[in-house]
Amino acid sequence: MKRIINEMKLRLIARGESEGLSRAIIAAFVAELNPTVEELLDLRCAVSEAVTNCVVHAYVDREVWEKEYIYISVRLYDNREVSVEIRDTGVGIADVALAREPRFSTGDNERGGMGFLVMESFCDSLSVKSKVGRGTRVLLRKKFKS
Amino acid sequence: MREGKIECGDDKLRLILPCEVDHHILGMMRHSLDKLLFEKKPSELLIDFSGVEMMDSSAIGLILGRLEICERIGASLKLIGVNDRARRLLELGGVMRFGGICVE
């Protein structure tokens, strides 16, 4: 059975600057597992996609800036696995299966709608749970090679 | 950390991407790039990936959006300095299959 060796919880305001900040913090946190440069870039890229979704899509209907948070929870396991949960309490996604399809985007055409596909490709597993009006939870898992 | 910048040559615009490319960083550069594209109407837009270390799918949106503008103003779009990692992401997004984009 795998055991947790460390855990971190972060709460950031859903603003653009949080994209780079969350990548940097998570990269520092997983450093003790000595991932390769490529593995680390994969994880940073997947995190960037999930956090961007919170920034761009989650809080479109709200105006209460102070409550627009992104909740990130990272766990390291002794089998060199890392799990990253990225959660918001925003508008939610009505049809998760549809949203996960490439090219789906509720934003303008400046966004490729490739976020979930990238998360899926750059991690070992991706789970997305969402409730309309309640928020979305994305769980990424990646195991670094030994 | 390398910053992004826009260089204007005669009849060419070159967007040099920063070492980290995400939705927020591109959002800050896009406005001035588009303004220059419409003002100068260059014959070629070069997007330079050579200094990119970390990039997410926001780059795909950037390319597709600029392709639209380039078609409108009659400019060609060229991607230069695309390394293996950037290529993998662009291929995932199907960018390589789009007509009108030249990858060097």
Q: What's the confidence (pLDDT) of residue B32?
A: 94
What sign does the CA torsion over A35, A43, B18, A118 have?
positive
Helix A115-122 × helix A37-53 angle, to 10°: 150
pTM of structure: 0.93
User: Does position A35 have pLDDT exceeding 60, yes or no?
Assistant: yes
Q: What's the confidence (pLDDT) of residue A108?
A: 56
Q: What is the DSSP string of chain B?
A: -PPPEEEEETTEEEEE--SEE-HHHHHHHHHHHHHHHHHH--SEEEEE-TT-SEE-THHHHHHHHHHHHHHHHT-EEEEES--HHHHHHHHHTTGGGSTTEEE-
Mean pLDDT to the nearest integer, A36-60: 96
Question: pLDDT (tens digit, 9 = 90+) per residue, A52-63?
Answer: 999 999 998 766
User: ipTM of this predicted complex?
Assistant: 0.91
Name which residue leads in pLDDT, B42 or A108.
Answer: B42
**Whether A141 is catalytic:** no
pLDDT classification of B72: cutoffs 50, 70, 90: very high
Kindly name the residue from A15, A100, A111, A141 that is annotated as catalytic. A111
Chain B contacts to A (CB-CB under 8 A): 20, 22-25, 27, 30, 53-58, 60-62, 64-65, 68, 85, 89, 92-94
CA geometry: angle A119, A121, A124, nearest 5 deg: 85
